[in-house]
Amino acid sequence: MFFTLAVPGERFQLKVSAQVESMLYRVPRAILQQSEIFGSNLDSYEASGALHVNGITTQEMEAFLDVSDAREVTGDDHFTLEQWLGALATADRLGIPRIRRYATGKAQGALNLLDPFDCIDVATKYRVYEWLLQPYIRICERPEPLSPAEMLRLALERASAVCRVREKLFADKYQSTKNWIADKWPRNPSGRNASSSQPQWEEMEETIRAEQATKGRSFVKLETVLSKPNFQSPGAEPPVYTVPQGTPHPKYSQTDLKEMKVGKSLYQLPIRYFERPDILGAIPARKVSSSSSGDLLMLPQDVQDFEWNIFLDILTARPFDEPLLYLDFSSWVTGLRLAVRFGHDSARRYILRRIETDFPSQEPIDLLEAAEIAGASDSPWLRGLYKAVSERRGSLSPEDIGRIGKKSTTEVLKLRDQYMWSAGQKGRRDVL
């Protein structure tokens, strides 16, 4: 949760000024409070004007701000490898382990598409052991030996380790092939083939490839110069005696915070978190307080504080939160109602997906009601629910029909007719 309960009933996203090179940024305070390096002294940094961060570039800081603003409802599949690496470098410099772990895991997939030697260079630069294993396995398993240029790139110690792993794999591959043929194509005492069928060579290749992958991983792990090298710590940054004049970044120093009032509670939230801010509520003609940074957005009076807090928990959940967001079923439904009401389609889809995956044992009527609220009556997920409801004992009650809607009721009744016909043929009376 990246918001601060300033006083009971208030929920603000407070920000801290941070300077990288000559650029000024506004960083959510809740992020910097996680910093193992700066978190405990934020007040003193704020008193001096801005937190000065050396050792990273402005591009890396901007990537970090984008990645750290990722939310579950909007996803994170739009970030590039360069952004993941920039976020990793900044999280490393600020000492924020959970964002470092998040960026490390997300970059892995993109790195696997690169040349293995480039992967090794990146892993070494960012000191990530997890990124080393796969590229070394790819090098060791390929048919071609190391070229002189590749040996030079790896340096002698690592090149020698790669050669040792390759030797083990090739020797093991020969023995595995021999064993497979002997098992699938045995010979009788006279030395002739005991089986008239021909070995399935494609099956052999697939089996041996899987064995080689497992053994290659094991062999590479045993070579610590490959799997656990001594990464050199980054050199100490030269002292900065004269801090350059900071220039506010045109994007990241601005704020789109909006003050909102729900019941007796006050909130200050980024307006970009809401896909349809125009239908959130009404803006009164006058400010409620002189301390307000702008006109106050008054949400409809029937929206309760606890409902809005649940909705905000969903909107602000991060993919790197530890632990990840967990809510009970009724809370997800509450969030779903508000997502639909305020036109937040990303939240609606996300909530419905979580309901589908997190509550497989929930009563089918409850799940169909959630689908009706979300307007998702065409989802393939619902077919099993229609069947479950159609085969339960007893007909749909008026309350059930009101909850699941006309479309779901029609689908259930179609299956119910088939089920009852089949039960009648079998002489069953326990389904009424």
Mean pLDDT by 10 residues, the chain (432 residues): 45 82 92 91 83 94 95 91 97 95 94 94 94 94 94 95 92 72 62 59 71 84 91 60 79 84 86 87 58 72 93 93 93 97 95 96 96 90 93 90 94 90 72 56
Inter-helix orientation angle 398-425/382-390, to 10°: 70
pLDDT of residue 291: 43
What b-and-e string marks burial along 292-302, b requiring 16 or more CB atoms within 10 Å of the CB? eeeebbebeee
Residue 322 DSSP class: S
Q: How many CA atoms lie within 13 A of 101 on its CB side?
A: 7
pLDDT of residue 192: 58
pLDDT of residue 194: 52
Rounded distance between C-alpha atoms, residue 344 and residue 354, angstroms: 16
pLDDT of residue 377: 77
Cβ–Cβ under 8 Å, residues 83 and 54: no
Strand partners, 75: 71
Residue type, 127: R
Cβ–Cβ under 8 Å, residues 384 and 392: no
Q: Which of 253, 287, 334, 309 is nearest to 3 (CA)?
A: 309
pLDDT of residue 292: 46
**Residue 30: partners with Cβ closer than 8 Å, 6 or more residues away:** 1, 2, 3, 4, 13, 14
- pTM exceeding the 0.85 threshold for the entire prediction: no
| The total number of residues written for the chain in this structure | 432
Q: Which residue has the tokens 């045109």?
A: 250
Count of CB atoms within 10 A of residue 338's CB?
21
Quick one: 147 exposed, middle or buried, by C-beta within 10 A (0-12, 13-18, 19+)? exposed
Rounded distance between C-alpha atoms, residue 222 and residue 209, angstroms: 20
pLDDT of residue 397: 94
pLDDT of residue 11: 55
Residue type, 243: V
**Residue 172: partners with Cβ closer than 8 Å, 6 or more residues away:** 211, 212, 215
